[in-house]
Homo-oligomer: A and B are copies of this chain.
Amino acid sequence: MPENIFGVCASCVSFTVMVFFVLLVRFEQLQNLGEAYDVSVISPRNYFLFTPLLPGVTVGTNEERSIVEPIRKFCLRGGREVFKFYEAKCTGVDVANNRVICADMSPVSVKDANGIGKAMEFSLPYDYLVVAVGATTNTFNTPGVPENVQFLKSIEDAQALRTKIMDAIETANLPGVSDAERRRLLQFVVVGGGPTGVEFAAEVNDFFEEDLKPYFPSFVHDFSVVLIQSGDHILNTFDKRISEYTEAKFKRQNIKVLTETRVKAVNPTELVVLDKKTGVVVTLPYGVCMWSTGLKQKKIIRTIASSIPEQNHKLALLTDRFLKVKGTENVFAMGDCSEVEQPLLQKHLKELFVQADLNGDGVLEKEEFAAFLEDVVEDYPQLAVYSQKVGDLFEDFDTNKDGVLSLEEFTQCLKIVDSKVKTLSATAQVASQQGKYLAKSFNSRAQGLVASPFFYSHTGMLAKIGATDAVADLPSLGPLSGFVTWWVWGAVYLTNQFSLRNRVLVALDWCKVQVFGRDVSRF
């Protein structure tokens, strides 16, 4: 009998849905294993969304339909249905009885005898469950945020931003609007200096410079973009040179960057912001405010976590290094809704020392230390960065220069190594690798093999910061910026599309903008 596996994708952060999907593709390769699994995917959206291109959709650099691909396209392989898809929201998981509880929350729904629509509920059994619901935007409980700002997580968010931007501009153009009101309507404020915030700020600025300026010559000096960042630099997960390059570029353009600034409240027409350097609180009028400041777990994750004793203290679902949710036997989690537990060397100090001291002389020779690192690097990924520089590490911590490491020296060394442990970032890249990993690991299990733990390999970061400018932080090449990087950005994003259709449409969108400009129609 095939085993049942369910993926719960209750998120509009559908990039994680996409990567979960990779799993299904791999499952398809399992056909010759006797169709080891019956796979079903549940998501309130019936499409994958390539979120990295969302900022461009807000001004028409790309069209919505170009960066989505229906999940159903992947359901069929050679005319055969290889997995089932249900468009519904997961509202709960009965971990004890292995059932997923779902509801159809969309407007066209099943009606009862009186013709009243209801959120039809149903539940499905599972043998294995993969949770990949993503996360929502964190508002840090700032008053006025949900009512007044616009997030940028979904197609609907991007459409709403596009409408609001043009609406603000058309309203500013009406007769009888005061100068102050016009400047307010034309001030676009972005809260959050991560890649989404930076790319959105650049896109809005380009939109004005390239498309709107000729139509509104009287606006030229009234239009402004303000980017608010609570840290001391924008793009602060990138190399510092990239942050500084981007800040300098924004300064040359019309984009004001306010670093070390925290939003205290959002009113209908202005933000109340605190300058952390001076302690001064000022107000900042805005026409449209986009909010993109870190992640918050979804309600469904809190619901699932609360039913598993081992999970109660955590926000995200804590998994072991095989992505299995701690405290469960058959629930897996990946992407923004999960956190992989990182093992600390310090916790097993004595055992590790004994293990390393092969000749039992109470100290570690260089060869013993090197062999030890090689042995345990798979269990302690934080050691990986030192694998090419064992000699340096050994010499750094051999403080008395006696050519061996004592237990004390070894302890100091492992503490420093442990301090390099980082929670995996909540990025599409991590989620994508986790999806591929889980597919492989389920395949191995079906073949009776033992899977190795998940290992994240960072390939770098990219952000588009202008019409023909991008920045990249690549482990292999270091920080890059400028025109060539912009081409790299385009090539990488085209390559990473879900399908040939997406690749063609995204490329056509870019050509269209070059030839005809962006569409300024408001809807």
Contact = CB atoms under 8 A, between A and B. Distances in A.
Given A164-B108, A176-B122, A268-B115, A522 B87 contact: yes
B521 A65 contact: yes
Chain A interface helix/strand/loop/mixed: mixed
Given A107-B164, A181-B110, A505-B512, A70 B120 contact: no
A111 B505 contact: no
A398 interface: no
Nearest to A212: B72
A150 to B, nearest CB: 11
A452 interface: no
B171 A116 contact: no
Interface in A213-239: 214-215, 217
A209 interface: no
A86 interface: yes
The interface centre, meaning the residue of A116, A173, A287 with most chain B CB atoms within 10 A of its CB, is A173
A175 B122 contact: yes
A501 interface: yes
Nearest to A214: B76
Interface string A120-146: 101010000000000000000000000
When all copies of this chain in the complex are counted, the total is: 2
B521 A68 contact: yes
Interface in A44-79: 45-47, 60, 63-65, 68-70, 72-73, 75-76, 79
A174 B104 contact: yes
The interface centre, meaning the residue of A72, A108, A176, A217 with most chain B CB atoms within 10 A of its CB, is A108
Interface in A152-177: 155-156, 163-164, 166-168, 170-171, 173-177
Given A64-B523, A156-B523, A522-B45, A171 B106 contact: yes
Interface in A68-110: 68-70, 72-73, 75-76, 79, 81, 85-88, 104, 106-110
Contacts of A45: 521-523
A411 to B, nearest CB: 55
B87 A47 contact: no
A367 B72 CA distance: 74
Contacts of A484: none
Given A115-B268, A167-B108, A287-B108, A174 B520 contact: no
Given A86-B174, A87-B522, 17 more contacts: A46-B170, A46-B522, A65-B521, A68-B519, A75-B215, A85-B173, A86-B175, A106-B167, A106-B171, A111-B181, A111-B268, A117-B268, A120-B174, A122-B174, A122-B176, A156-B523, A501-B515
7 contacts: A46-B170, A72-B215, A87-B171, A115-B270, A120-B176, A156-B523, A505-B512
> Nearest 9 CB-CB pairs, A to B?
A47-B521, A87-B170, A108-B167, A115-B268, A501-B516, A122-B176, A70-B520, A72-B215, A115-B269
